[in-house]
Structure 1
Amino acid sequence: MLDTVVVSRALRTRAGAVTLLGGMLLITSTMGATPGVARGTDLADVAVGTGAAAGVGRGVGALADAQIPLYQQAVSVLPDGARDGVPSDALAVYLPGTRVPHPAAAVLASAVGATPTTTVAVGPRAAAAAADEQLAWIAAGRVPGAGGPHEDLARAALLDLHSLTVADGVVVAGWSPHWRYVWPRDSAFVAVALARTGHVDDALAVLDFLADVQSPDGSFHARYLPDGSGPPDDRGLQTDGTGWAMWAAGLVLAEVDDTDRTTEARRLAPLVERSAGRALRLVAGGLPPASPDYWEVAEGEVTLGTAAPLVAGLEQAAVVLDAAGLRGPATAAAAGAARARQAVVDAFGPTGYGRYATRTLPDAASAFVLAPFWAQPPPDAGAAWQASVPSMLRPAQGLAPGGGWRRDGVSWTPQTTLYAWVAAEQGDAAGAGRWLGVVERHRTSSGAIPEKLLADGTPAAVAPLGWSAACVLLAIDALDTGRASPT
């Protein structure tokens, strides 16, 4: 059968190369080929991993619009489970519906002086086998939004998560060196996204990895080496990871078949019971101590981004532990969740559920007191969350992590997609669609979801970013499966 290889969006940026390469790629292939549609230096733009230092607001001392490179446009999937970054300037061509580089296209791209998708030599049969494996993985689950306007974005997000999965249960945050680690926070969101798209076994494996690296006292370091041997540096503990692990365990368990629910709850119980024990100690006096949160900077006072996930986690811990038959620990977790919830409401409610309890400063963590995080959101939290948007909005119509974030023009896709998911869960389909549209319009040439968008919408920093891909899938899932809560 004759198949025409159609080059990806990147090819159309170089007219001469397109003409020549496009003609050369009219080939006979037994595999078939269409392109796949398809988280600044790591330290220089202050961002490291999934967080960044806070900066000044626009005004006196304001920052110019940041110029951050795109480190890679995708991660390619190679035979035998190998991965390779796709250069940002590559004329990337993939086998149909995958991130597996087309062998012939790579050779021809090199022949015309263009950057190939990968420099790793991949034979046709090996490439076909890798493509079949990736396609089979996607087919084993569900593509949210299938048949609707968000299907292509959902498929790209699934490809992002699969390409960032480097071993069973090991999903790195991104592919650039400073991101090629496992963050408990990111992995928690990924686990929920995997479960809700029909990949429950993969989701449970992600939580198994977290259980393996967790300290006996229930704490988590900021990030871990993919081989599970420990943290890569002395960044230290981050309290929110304990909350996120429990929260994810509960939401993943909700996707397990009823016949397997008790068995899987018992599988999750060690992770959850250790986490709940630590969380209960942390909130024994009300609010937990100060800790870095998703901003990944040292804090002198507790943030909502630390306190709210502990409430969400303890609520879900009660569910998991009860399902595992651990009635005493389940009761203790539920009681602790209620006490911690009231402490957060009393402290952060008066300042509009912003970053700190001592002053009003809008923050994306306002989303963490709403569904799908807290079972019973405070009555005034929805309005506070909506009110956070103006101070966080950036020129590309995405969001910064908070109103106190530096005004450098950069939108962050983790927060933009988080707001899409929360909007969908609140029943605001139009709002969810707007946030998803920002990401949809500004993906990389390979279709991957980047960590950042510059002021003009140019994708920047690492691509893909697992946290963002997870939130995209969860938002689309909430839209098309009726999960959205009534307003």
Structure 2
Amino acid sequence: MTILRPRRTGGRPGPTRRQLITGGLGVGLLGLGTATASFAEAARPDPVRSVTVAYTRSGVREGLDAEAAQRLPALSRVMPGAADAEPMRRQQEFLSRCDAWLERTPSSRRELAVSALLDLWVLSDELPAAVAGWVGPWRYIWPRDTAFVAVALARVGAVRQAWSQLLHLQNVQAVDGSFAARVVPETGLAPDEREPQFDSLGLVLWAVAEVHALARQNDISLDLSDMDILLRRTTRRLLDHTGRGETLPPVGPDYWEVAESQVTLGLAGPTLVGMDSLAALTAVDPGLWDRLGGGFGDVLPAVDAYAATFARTFGATGLQRYPTSGGCDSAAAFLPAAGLVPPPGAGPAAGARASIYAIDADALVTVWDRLSQPAGGIKPGHGWIIDRSSWTPSTSLMALGFARLGMRDRAGQILDWLAENRTSAGSLPEKISAEGAPVSVAPLAWTAANVVIALDELRLSAEDDAS
């Protein structure tokens, strides 16, 4: 794997989401390079819990099965004849806000774009931030998912809505800077005592930097000082828990949401993304860290130190799940998805301050090929459970990574596959079975957000070529 140096761009825990998805609460031998699951778990059928979410005639938002969804108009998440007209009005208002962006989306993928936007809308409407899904254990706010949703919303023109969701994360952040793995949208409280997930720190910083940059590009006034509390707490925790960049983050669960005994790429990669975002925010506002009680000179050395730490651990062994083992992991796509990509035609030492490492296109293709599943998508990683399903969060994250790396055909093929494998109601499900059927839950906010951002990356790339 080639590692390139590009320039910077702007009581007791309950069962995890993964365990509830698979139906298994016993995962053995974690942290030994694989997460071993029983064949009985792998053979257990995974039902479709919902094919979409919509406001019903009673005005209540509900997960719909296939039969109920037949009464839902195409490209809508509101049943006709509802007693309350407000959901329909809000849906139309949201789509109108996205009109200019949709008009620049190729007609062949516009239906996918509208579907993904509606999925984001119905999982965010009248809530302080998007929930991951609507039914069962998905109906919580995950900071990781919210970060991607905020960037997606900002990309389509809903910048203030995106900023509002990030401000909510500031409101629910602990004093020590940690984010609960998930919170109840109505209360902001964690529903159980599971460990905080360290990847949220870097991804939320990335989202703040991205949304603020998009606001500036579009002459929308956002006051970065509104995020002072989040930036101070997050930065302090990020730097303190990496020895100011000299060490990897502490061991803990990542997006796989299982116990681990080693640091994973799913934590180390987003931490690199967060460090790069600190540098981007400092460049925009050189006085930011002085205002927050730090100093300009303290930030960039820590960013550079962590880049070197990442390079000599995960980078030196090919971006495996663990520092020296574990095989391929779709977490490798976090880096290009967040913009850590080499400049066109750049060599290994490119960039004015060559301290951020990124995966190259060939390496990402290798990850895809090794994780490919029968239905056409990928599984999250080499050590994932043996269920042979294609998981759309990882699949769509790879599409975004390929789009950022300029591999438009590869990204487009994945997006087309996702479009073809939506539910009967048009929503993006969490999983596609080995037989090609949508399973688990739909819609899923993270997948929808990845799709929107990837579509926007393809649009930007095409516009750059045209100019």
Q: Report the TM-score when normalising by structure 1.
A: 0.80
Of 356, 372, 391 in structure 1, the residue corresponding to residue 322 of structure 2 is: 356
Q: How many residues align?
A: 422
* Contact 1:40/1:68 (8 A) holds in 2: no
CA 1:379–1:308 in 2, change beyond 3 Å: closer, same or farther?
Answer: closer
What are the Cα deviations for residues 414-473 of structure 1, in whole angstroms up to 9, with x where unaligned? 000001111111111111012112211111111000000100110011100000000000
Q: Which residue of 1 aligns with 2:311?
A: 345
Q: Which residue of 2 aligns with 1:292?
A: 253
Please tell me whether residue 167 in structure 1 is matched to residue 126 in structure 2. Answer: yes
Of 93, 112, 115 in structure 2, the residue corresponding to residue 153 of structure 1 is: 112
Q: Which residue of 2 aligns with 1:42?
A: 20
Task: Give how far 1:83 is off.
Answer: 1.4
Amino acid corresponding to residue 280 of structure 2 in structure 1: V
Identical amino acids, percent of aligned pairs:
34
Task: Give how far 1:206 is off.
Answer: 0.8
Amino acid corresponding to residue 475 of structure 1 in structure 2: A
Amino acid corresponding to residue 326 of structure 1 in structure 2: L
Task: Give how far 1:283 is off.
Answer: 1.1
Gaps of 5+ in 2: 1-16, 343-355
Match of 2:102, SS? Answer: coil
Task: Give how far 1:90 is off.
Answer: 2.2
Match of 1:256, SS? Answer: helix
Q: Which residue of 2 aligns with 1:406?
A: 385
* Contact 2:123/2:132 (8 A) holds in 1: yes
Task: Give how far 1:46 is off.
Answer: 3.6
* Contact 1:351/1:360 (8 A) holds in 2: no
Gaps of 5+ in 1: 1-38, 104-121
CA 1:375–1:381 in 2, change beyond 3 Å: closer, same or farther?
Answer: closer
Of 237, 243, 257 in structure 1, the residue corresponding to residue 216 of structure 2 is: 257
Task: Give how far 1:373 is off.
Answer: 4.1
CA 1:90–1:47 in 2, change beyond 3 Å: closer, same or farther?
Answer: farther
Q: Which residue of 2 aligns with 1:73?
A: 51
* Contact 2:66/2:425 (8 A) holds in 1: no
Q: Which residue of 2 aligns with 1:9?
A: none
Amino acid corresponding to residue 432 of structure 1 in structure 2: A
CA 1:188–1:316 in 2, change beyond 3 Å: closer, same or farther?
Answer: same
* Contact 2:268/2:310 (8 A) holds in 1: yes
Task: Give how far 1:332 is off.
Answer: 2.8
Of 268, 274, 280 in structure 1, the residue corresponding to residue 227 of structure 2 is: 268
Q: Which residue of 2 aligns with 1:306?
A: 267
Of 417, 420, 443 in structure 2, the residue corresponding to residue 464 of structure 1 is: 443
Amino acid corresponding to residue 84 of structure 1 in structure 2: E
Of 267, 279, 284 in structure 2, the residue corresponding to residue 318 of structure 1 is: 279
After TM superposition, list the pairs within 5 Å mapping 1:180-191 onto structure 2: 180-191=139-150
CA distance in 2, matches of 1:357, 1:429: 30
What are the Cα deviations for residues 198-231 of structure 1, in whole angstroms up to 9, with x where unaligned? 1001100110110000011211111111024310
What are the Cα deviations for residues 234-253 of structure 1, in whole angstroms up to 9, with x where unaligned? 11211111111101101111
CA 1:321–1:296 in 2, change beyond 3 Å: closer, same or farther?
Answer: same
CA distance in 2, matches of 1:47, 1:415: 22
CA distance in 1, matches of 2:67, 2:111: 22
What are the Cα deviations for residues 288-324 of structure 1, in whole angstroms up to 9, with x where unaligned? 1111110101111111110111121122123335545
Match of 1:224, SS? Answer: coil
* Contact 2:132/2:444 (8 A) holds in 1: yes
What are the Cα deviations for residues 316-336 of structure 1, in whole angstroms up to 9, with x where unaligned? 123335545314445433322
Match of 1:76, SS? Answer: strand
After TM superposition, list the pairs within 5 Å mapping 1:208-227 onto structure 2: 208-227=167-186
Q: Following superposition, which runs of at least 4 residues in structure 1 exceed 6 angstroms of deviation?
A: 60-63, 259-262, 483-486
Moved more, 220-229 or 163-172: 163-172
* Contact 1:83/1:166 (8 A) holds in 2: no
* Contact 2:254/2:267 (8 A) holds in 1: yes
Of 412, 415, 419 in structure 1, the residue corresponding to residue 394 of structure 2 is: 415
Of 70, 86, 91 in structure 2, the residue corresponding to residue 92 of structure 1 is: 70
Please tell me whether residue 101 in structure 1 is matched to residue 79 in structure 2. Answer: yes
Match of 2:461, SS? Answer: coil
CA distance in 2, matches of 1:466, 1:235: 21
Match of 1:192, SS? Answer: helix
Bigger relative contact order (CA 8 A; separation at least 6): 2
Of 134, 144, 162 in structure 2, the residue corresponding to residue 203 of structure 1 is: 162
Amino acid corresponding to residue 86 of structure 1 in structure 2: L
Match of 1:84, SS? Answer: strand
Moved more, 374-383 or 457-466: 374-383
CA distance in 1, matches of 2:384, 2:170: 33
Compare CA radii of gyration and give the structure with the larger one: 1
Moved more, 76-85 or 203-212: 76-85
CA 1:47–1:63 in 2, change beyond 3 Å: closer, same or farther?
Answer: closer
CA distance in 2, matches of 1:162, 1:42: 25
Q: Report the TM-score when normalising by structure 2.
A: 0.83
Moved more, 311-320 or 408-417: 311-320
* Contact 1:247/1:373 (8 A) holds in 2: no
